[in-house]
Copies of this chain bind each other. A is one copy, B any other.
Amino acid sequence: MGFEYFTPTKVIFGKGTEEKTGELVKEQGGHKVLIHYGGGSVVRSGLLDRICRSLEVSGISYVPLGGVVPNPRLSKVREGIRLCREENVDFLLAVGGGSVIDSTKAIGYGLANEGDVWDFYDRKRTAKGCMPIGAVLTIAAAGSEMSDSSVITNEDGWIKRGYSSNYCRCRFAVMNPELTCTLPDYQTQSGCVDIMMHTMERYFNLNDTMELTDGISETLIRTVMKNAGILKKNPLDYNARAEVMWASSLSHNGLTGCGTGGGDWASHQIEHELGGMFDVAHGAGLAAVWGSWARYVYPEHPERFARFARQIFDLEEDGDVNALALAGIEKMEEFYRSAGMPTSLRELGIDPTDEQIREMAEKCCFFGKRTVGVIKKLDAADVEKIYLMARG
């Protein structure tokens, strides 16, 4: 039961906190900032203007770079690296959700290391540093604002890969829950699934875990489920937005993994291939495959799934631990459906061919170079079966 825990990100949480951006960049010693963002909503809402004003007040100059798409792409990362070099940028500011922050992290690696940035994601080299990053969060989902990870899609082959290191952890994260109030319901619910899954991935493992971590994880999952329901009815509920936003950070900053020995992560790997090939919303993709993954692997550790059923859904055992485990999986899928989330690929709106499924399974396992998951170590044949179960 050993672990490392390192979450250096300074969190500034609450209404109007984006006004402090300039001050926070200044505190970190930044002079010239890349403002990295996605689509036009950041511009239309006036958020970009407010942030620019805050930087100006602190005497910080900036250069904007928009256009980050969901499942952020390597070409945009390369564009960012070139621009920052030309403009002598010394601090990176992500204004957006996980895709924008991940793209920013990749730019940071590219600037602080020689050679091609894709090498890190392709497991060819290890990064030795990252340009300092701050984030103004506009979507509660990925948890990238406090996590050590980033995921980038290489358009050359549509390969989606993650890379993790403490270097890329944000120096600060500005979190104003109001900024998420205008998100469409599908994106809100998809974010909630992503948040829950970051904890569930760590929760499902084969080790003796810590009670304190299990309790925190269960509280987090229940809180997100409850507030996802509130937001379904009233998307403007500030308190519910706040609960979900703070959960997004705590779910993926390492806290819910203390003493769990790493977690499973197979569902994420399986979904990553869907995201690489079909550009689906990450959380929705996770909801679509999780039940199939869970039914495929639960016999390896039914007690853990039974605890999940008891603690998350107040289900009670009737002498049959397997039945309880399955009932918990069924309940989670019911929740996903109530949230308008898919529980199959068909409901996700995609219909991959057998050939595409085989290709995704092979890519997921690096063409035989790795297995995914720890509850059950899955090879390409296992992953293929899970995709087929998830077809719906």
Contact = CB atoms under 8 A, between A and B. Distances in A.
Interface of A: 1-8, 10-15, 17, 208, 210-212, 215-216, 218-220, 222-223, 226-227, 238-239, 242-243, 246-247, 250, 255, 258-259
Tallying the copies of this chain within the complex gives 2
Given A6-B10, A13-B258, 14 more contacts: A1-B14, A4-B10, A4-B12, A5-B10, A8-B10, A208-B239, A210-B243, A211-B223, A212-B220, A215-B220, A216-B219, A218-B219, A219-B219, A246-B258
A212 B247 contact: yes
A3 B7 CA distance: 16
Given A2-B17, A219-B219, A212 B243 contact: yes
Contacts of A5: 10-11, 13
A334 B150 CA distance: 49
Contacts of A223: 211-212, 215
Contacts of A216: 215-216, 219
B13 A2 contact: yes
A246 B7 CA distance: 15
Nearest to A13: B3
A15 B5 CA distance: 15
Contacts of A255: 255
A14 B261 CA distance: 12
Given A5-B13, A11-B5, A246 B259 contact: yes
Closest 4 CB pairs of A and B: A2-B14, A215-B219, A5-B11, A8-B8
